[in-house]
Structure 1
Amino acid sequence: MPEKNKTYRARIEGYTSEGLGVARIDGQAVFVHRALRGEDCDVLILKALKNAAFGKAVRVYAPSPHRVEPDCPYYGRCGGCDFRHMDREEELEAKRQRVQDALRRIGGSDVTVEGILSGAPLHYRNKSQYPVSADGQVGFYKARSHQVVPVDCCRIQKPQADAAAEALRRYIRECGVPCYDERTRRGLVRHLYVRTNSAGQSLVCVLVNGRKLPREDTLVSFVRQALPDAVGVVLGVNTQPTGAVLGSEYRTLWGTDVLEDTLCGLSFRLSVPSFYQVNHDMAEVLYDTAVDFAGLTGHETVLDLYCGAGTITQVMARRAARVIGAEIVPEAIADARENARRNGIENVEFFCGDAAAAAADFAAKGLRPDVLCVDPPRKGLSPEVVAAAASMAPQRIVYVSCDPATLARDVKRFAQAGYAAVRAAAVDMFPGTANVETVCLLSKLQSKEHIEIEVKMDELDLTSAESKATYEEIREYIFEHTGLKVSYLYIAQVKQKYGIIERENYNKPKSENAKQPQCPPEKERAITEALKHFEMI
């Protein structure tokens, strides 16, 4: 078993979902920072756990031909990027393999990932979010912490975002504005949010713990000096004691509160809360792939859940007879309707509501779309959405995902409802990071067992919390991030502690007086972090 502060020689076999190299020392998994697959290294153990360890490569005997010198001075301190120590070829293959492994291991699918589509790796992000520390630092969080690393120039953000960050620093410094302290919940400035369109225009929003800022005209002046092409400066109100970035309401300090952009030949109006893909060029590739997978001929009815500002809805509307979009954010639905009006698209309808409720309502009203398109957040689909989707019996489901693990979980759930994954393609929307987008096509099976299948909630046998992550996914997450092996019993105990109701008799003792082993504190902390990661608490 590897010991802390000792050095061992090992070969890197692969990568974790966060881009760490994986080696085996004395039969135990060791996660190695900045190590590349195939490298023979001396690994210094930094943290040793019972079932795994973390380390760093202090000597590389046979460097990978894919190893490169990181091009960012903040790499290793800022938690934004994961792959700046390897070339693009290795990065893309690591991401493609991650999607393939998830679909096979978690999803139980034999579909082959066709490849990974990629584009320009620098300055691609059209949306930037900068946390602000209590002492006025504007930058990005250090990995797995809320410690802000001040960053003057980011390799993946637009230059306009860097300029806006500097303008905010100047405002905080010269006007003596107090910044938000997460511990005391006092102070004003919390986050900087910048959207930049393909023409170089920007919309700037400052999120504050209150309803106003001192000398707001000075803030506007500094932003306009730094960004001559800015279209508006907005104040967002966020007084919630959580890690949420966006606010509950917005007030325009200058200019307009929306930004216009062109995507796939269509015009879109974007407010601050509207969902919009962060990589403009690769979003066009992503949507083209989704339309291709949908197999539209011009006669279909399409239902688009999680439609955001109606981007993919309207792209598909050009190839379909009728498209219906649903989204929970009211501002996004307002943008979607305005976007359709501007683009002269009349065969679309938009509804505001929770995806599960909207899907159930559509199903109850007898909607039978030919194609269902879903682009959910990282946590994936709830079992309610899966059930409602299956009850509408679409011939094809186009699933756009930003998390291979939750995609694979949902592929497995859809398999229970009579659908099989038949195509999958990875899209590199986030170069330099471990994140990867996937487009997956699920087709309705045409066997006697599945033609008239009806999926009910009790048949899925999942609680609301379990819809976000299974026990096995929680175990895998904990092992990958801490090296700890936790039992289903320990997970159940921690879930019960946080009020997550288990199914009847699940992990209950055989008798009222039966004794059960209690979860150790270290494992309880790891399980708690996993539950937070999967947004279960």
Structure 2
Amino acid sequence: MELAKNQEHTVTIEGYGEGGMGVARVDGRVVFVHGALRGEKCRVLILKTLKSVAFAKVLEVIEPSSERMESDCPYFPRCGGCTYRHMSYEEELRLKKQRVQDNLSRIGGSDVTVEEILGAQDTLRYRNKAQYPVSKDGRVGFYRARTHEVIECEQCLLVKSEADAAAEALREYMQSCRVAGYDEKIGRGLVRHLYVRSNAAGESLICVLVNGDKLPQEETLVALLRGACPKCTGIVLGTNTKKGNVILGNRYRTLWGSDRLEDTLCGKTFRLSVPSFYQVNRAQAERLYAKTIEFAGLTGQETVLDLYCGAGTITLALSDHAKKVLGAEIVPEAIDDARENAARNGVKNAEFFCGDASDVAKKLARENLRPDVITVDPPRKGLAADVVESIAEMQPERVVYVSCDSATMARDVKRFAELGYTATRAAAVDMFPRADHIETVCLLSKLQRKEHIEIEVAMDEMDLTSAESKATYEEIREYVFEHTGLKVSHLYIAQVKQKYGIIERENYNKPKSEDTRQPQCPPEKEKAITEALKHFGMI
């Protein structure tokens, strides 16, 4: 039967795809199901069909998973802020760790094993930064899932309570003063976003982003915000007249109080402006940075270059463990904050550069700078190819890659491998409980030429079996993904091959010690790999 829109089917969910969607199959065709959990039997409605896959939603959960939960949020799943309020936190962590592992394997071509995922102790109100879009009719809330339609949310379980209070104050101001919200389709209207940053002491810095340079009755807005947020330390007006849905602009004016907010992280005090990059989950950020320091392997004698340093949080955390630290960031205000933060904390071994990471990396490479370790924490799009090349030109012993998107990180891991750097360790940190994103830190180590020599050997000298020569690991992985939507690692393929007597020679898939724990191939992936081996005539 050909799959078509509006058809109903009963399916069993085999695993998870991107965005936490359940993966099922109908007559061999992969179907991604919104809101379904692994192991569930569901009646689904086909929403959309493509050449090789289809998308569906759950009409009825016939046999629910033991990991399914009732959502504790009245806006879920309409609001796009959360993805996993319908499952246990333990299942969410398993899903996220597997995604990182699969991305490193399938996209990065790496056999590194994700050692652990550091789950959060607090999964409620952990975000120290909230950004509320404002609709043309004055709604203040969050975008509906996969749209730019604003859903008004009176209470969000991810953000601090003062952010909710500030949102209610802005609604009252816009209604009482008849101020229009922004229509991003036509570029008209005034109030675009509300931005609230909070610290560990419960203080907050509030910024209202507008399509202009001023607001009517600004004193009324200030009074309402101060009344709603007694521990507010500053209120800022940000100008953003560019069309589209970009949040921050490039001009700021202080309406009241300070335009900076102080917070503590890893034993350091930071002063943060509105555009400064700062991790949104303080407790998990400290665990992420501790893992970064561990992977860097510092003895106190190294020079470390930190690209995309923001306000200097990672740079200054590294400063206690290195001889010298250098930070680079394109946002001028963030570099000003970083320099001020270094001075406030008495850090004498830190230096900061303002500029694009690519330009800074090229400049330092031309100047023959040879840092021992380079850390990177790029935006979601990852590193540009020329940045990867410039980093490799500086020949650091180690590169520690911190990422909020394991797919783009995995792409860059593959680029680094082509330039002599291999992924040797990886860990995941759940910075965003209940949301779809996962933070990853990966150690890339420089291959030692004496230990890695390329040789050319004839196939008969390698004693290859006919099965071993039929298909590469990459071809098997591509076949599995194309036909099932599942992502499998080299390790899983090796395990299944060995099960069928295709003996692996001594290689990177074999543990170095007998008690080394390795993840075992899940049944649904073993079945998919087995089908691929049959397809290639290997079994």
TM-score after normalising by structure 1: 0.83
Q: How many Å separate the matches in 2 of 1:48 and 1:326?
A: 45
Aligned counterpart, 1:28: 29
Deviates more, 1:98-107 or 1:118-127: 118-127
Q: How many Å separate the matches in 2 of 1:19 and 1:355?
A: 32
Per-residue CA deviation, residues 197-249 of structure 1 (Å, 9 max, x unaligned), is 01100000000000000000000000000000000000000000122100110
Deviates more, 1:38-47 or 1:291-300: 38-47
Deviation above 6 Å: which 4+ runs of structure 1? none
Aligned counterpart, 2:59: 58
Q: How many Å separate the matches in 2 of 1:409 and 1:183?
A: 33
Aligned counterpart, 1:446: 448
Matched, 1:336 2:341: no
SS of the equivalent of 1:18 reads helix
Matches for 1:233-244 after TM superposition, within 5 Å:
233-244=235-246
Aligned counterpart, 1:269: 271
1:354 to 348, 353, 356: 356
Q: How many Å separate the matches in 1 of 2:40 and 2:123?
A: 24
Counterpart of 1:255, as a letter, is G
TM-superposed CA distance for 1:47, in Å, is 2.5
Aligned counterpart, 1:424: 426
Contact 2:196 2:205 in 1 (8 A): yes
Q: How many Å separate the matches in 1 of 2:269 and 2:329?
A: 19
Matched, 1:433 2:435: yes
Aligned counterpart, 2:141: 139
Q: How many Å separate the matches in 1 of 2:400 and 2:49?
A: 43
TM-superposed CA distance for 1:186, in Å, is 1.5
SS of the equivalent of 2:168 reads helix
Q: How many residues align?
A: 456
Aligned counterpart, 1:184: 186
Aligned counterpart, 2:6: 5
Q: How many Å separate the matches in 2 of 1:183 and 1:223?
A: 28
Deviates more, 1:60-69 or 1:316-325: 60-69
Contact 1:37 1:64 in 2 (8 A): yes
Aligned counterpart, 1:505: none
TM-superposed CA distance for 1:144, in Å, is 1.7
Aligned counterpart, 2:529: none
SS of the equivalent of 1:104 reads helix
Aligned counterpart, 2:375: 373
Aligned counterpart, 1:90: 91
Deviates more, 1:28-37 or 1:1-10: 1-10
Gapped runs of 5+ residues in structure 1?
A: 452-471, 484-537
TM-superposed CA distance for 1:448, in Å, is 4.5
Specify whether residues 450 and 322 from structure 1 end up closer, same or farther in structure 2 by C-alpha distance, changes over 3 A only: farther
SS of the equivalent of 2:3 reads coil
Counterpart of 1:349, as a letter, is E
Per-residue CA deviation, residues 118-165 of structure 1 (Å, 9 max, x unaligned), is 111110111111000000000001122110010000011111110110
Counterpart of 2:371, as a letter, is P
Counterpart of 1:425, as a letter, is A
Q: How many Å separate the matches in 1 of 2:28 and 2:87?
A: 27
Matched, 1:309 2:311: yes
Per-residue CA deviation, residues 372-429 of structure 1 (Å, 9 max, x unaligned), is 0000000000011111100000001000000011010000000000010000000000
Aligned counterpart, 1:491: none
SS of the equivalent of 1:140 reads strand
TM-superposed CA distance for 1:44, in Å, is 1.8
Matched, 1:232 2:234: yes
Gapped runs of 5+ residues in structure 2?
A: 454-473, 486-539
Per-residue CA deviation, residues 413-448 of structure 1 (Å, 9 max, x unaligned), is 000000100000000000001100000000000025
Counterpart of 2:244, as a letter, is T
Contact 1:17 1:434 in 2 (8 A): no
Matched, 1:157 2:172: no
Aligned counterpart, 1:117: 118
Aligned counterpart, 2:495: none
Q: How many Å separate the matches in 1 of 2:15 and 2:166?
A: 39
Contact 2:315 2:327 in 1 (8 A): yes
- How much identity, in percent, do the aligned residues show? 65
TM-superposed CA distance for 1:76, in Å, is 1.4
TM-superposed CA distance for 1:450, in Å, is 7.4
Aligned counterpart, 1:217: 219
Contact 2:185 2:244 in 1 (8 A): no
TM-score after normalising by structure 2: 0.83
Per-residue CA deviation, residues 301-353 of structure 1 (Å, 9 max, x unaligned), is 00000000000100000000000000000000000000000000000000000
Deviates more, 1:367-376 or 1:42-51: 42-51
Counterpart of 1:13, as a letter, is E
Aligned counterpart, 2:168: 166
